[in-house]
A and B are shown apart, each in its own frame.
Chain A
């Protein structure tokens, strides 16, 4: 599975939303109704899934699923380097 698919699955699992309704343009707060503890859950699940650390200050800047995917891809590149 690609990073995009894995991230959408995490968001879908945490929020209980059909994955088909989640796109890279989905805004966590405005479109998906994410609250602070949902953010914590998504971040925690992503940290486990991708084996990276995601400081909350960074997570808050990633307002859409697409931005989160880009952030994770960069972190994975840094990890490999």
Chain B
């Protein structure tokens, strides 16, 4: 039995986070979704289907064959990359498709069926599987929107802590630091160091501190939380439900949020109920609202349309390579596109910021341009000893093209507003 991951059209609901990666590379709990669901299944995947412009980067970053051209000579479990829950029993079924609210969660296919229905186009392959196989209802397995990830993150961390099965201190817990709750609900990995005065509070859930993390003095970490390899927590409050890292620099207050990796929020300021992409830098005092003053549910732009989340706590979606200046204020349910730069205005910024723009004095402007943004990204990455490959630069150029219409529309709209004003 082989396990292949597929990306369906649901990726669009996760944009702009998924403009630079397949949806199955978003994170929840300890891992990216494809890594997590394959652990639940108990089979290592060896291939995945994604959009063509992400194909080579996906292969390079995951080690998977991207967009395989031939069917496997074995039975195949095709698993939706948006799965946040999966069952090993799905791999035991034959010629069965699991459906959640009309969407395919998995297709467990015999070798013969795969060969009979094979298509290079994954949408067609899944559609044929639906036609040819019996169907079973599956509950609560797919993430449909980005807020599903951070709102379910605490539960995912609890599950992943059990899956890994490690607890205790393999790193350094300095004298003068404090554990509140059970020591068995905490794991400090080799090379990690927790400084004096740090409080690790595991009364509400486990805390996993991965390799080479350092937690500086005057930090309080509440479980359930996961701190990824090489991350520095430089003082502040890491509240429940956070997954951070690898290689992030985090200070201030963070609550129920996912920092994908290589991002900085070094200084004071609050980020709550948010997903922050890679290579993001949030300037000092950058703060987002995650709760409206009338406690009503939050609306957020999904794929360009203002959408009711049905949730009272939703913060921001901040895509890769975004930079914010000091004191930037983000409204409840703000979406910031890839590579954009936000400067403070003293008021909350627009709720929808397209990719590759500059928001300055609350106006949406063309900003520094694509090649300058790529050059800055290269500089930022080199500071963490990472070289941006030409494939990554090309991917950003492609994202620039794909987002051109939205960007130009919003810039023109903003310009018209100023002329009228």
Please tell me if the beta carbons of A44 and B419 are within 8 angstroms of each other in the complex.
no
| Given contact pairs A55-B366, A56-B372, A41 touches B360 in the complex (Cβ within 8 A) | yes
State which of A37, A53, A55 has its C-beta within 8 Å of the C-beta of B360.
A37
Report the bound CA distance from A1 to B303 in whole Å.
Answer: 43
Q: Report which B residues bind A (CB closer than 8 A).
A: 343, 358, 360, 363, 365-369, 371-372, 408, 415, 418-419
Please tell me if the beta carbons of A54 and B343 are within 8 angstroms of each other in the complex.
no
Q: Is A68 an interface residue (CB 8 A)?
A: no
Please tell me if the beta carbons of B366 and A53 are within 8 angstroms of each other in the complex.
yes
Chain B at the A interface: SS class: mixed
Separation in Å of the A36 CB from the closest CB of chain B?
A: 8
| Given contact pairs A37-B360, A56-B372, A43 touches B365 in the complex (Cβ within 8 A) | yes
Contacting B at CB under 8 A, from A26-60, are 36-37, 40-41, 43-44, 47-48, 53-57
Question: With a CB–CB cut-off of 8 A, which chain A residues contact B372?
Answer: 56-57
Q: A36-B368, A37-B360, A56-B372 are in contact. List 4 more A-B contacts (CB 8 A).
A: A40-B360, A44-B363, A56-B366, A57-B371
Separation in Å of the A42 CB from the closest CB of chain B?
A: 11
Chain A at the B interface: SS class: helix
Please tell me if the beta carbons of B419 and A37 are within 8 angstroms of each other in the complex.
no
Please tell me if the beta carbons of B419 and A48 are within 8 angstroms of each other in the complex.
yes
Number of A-B contacts (CB under 8 A): 32
Please tell me if the beta carbons of B360 and A56 are within 8 angstroms of each other in the complex.
no
A-B CB proximity, top 4 nearest: A56-B369, A57-B369, A44-B365, A56-B368
Please tell me if the beta carbons of A43 and B366 are within 8 angstroms of each other in the complex.
yes
Report the bound CA distance from A37 to B361 in whole Å.
Answer: 11
Question: With a CB–CB cut-off of 8 A, which chain A residues contact B343?
Answer: 37
Question: With a CB–CB cut-off of 8 A, which chain A residues contact B418?
Answer: 48
Question: With a CB–CB cut-off of 8 A, which chain B residues contact A37?
Answer: 343, 360
Report the bound CA distance from A40 to B367 in whole Å.
Answer: 7
State which of A36, A40, A57 has its C-beta within 8 Å of the C-beta of B365.
A40
Separation in Å of the B131 CB from the closest CB of chain A?
A: 48
Please tell me if the beta carbons of A55 and B369 are within 8 angstroms of each other in the complex.
yes
Residue pairs across A and B with Cβ atoms less than 8 A apart, 12 shown, are A37-B360, A40-B365, A40-B368, A41-B360, A43-B366, A48-B415, A48-B418, A53-B366, A54-B366, A55-B369, A57-B369, A57-B371
Question: With a CB–CB cut-off of 8 A, which chain A residues contact B368?
Answer: 36, 40, 56
Please tell me if the beta carbons of A47 and B415 are within 8 angstroms of each other in the complex.
yes
Separation in Å of the B343 CB from the closest CB of chain A?
A: 7
Report the bound CA distance from A48 to B360 in whole Å.
Answer: 15
Instruction: With a 10 A CB-CB cut-off, give which of A36, A41, A53, A56 has the most chain B CB atoms.
Output: A56
Report the bound CA distance from A56 to B408 in whole Å.
Answer: 14
Please tell me if the beta carbons of B419 and A56 are within 8 angstroms of each other in the complex.
no
Separation in Å of the B372 CB from the closest CB of chain A?
A: 6
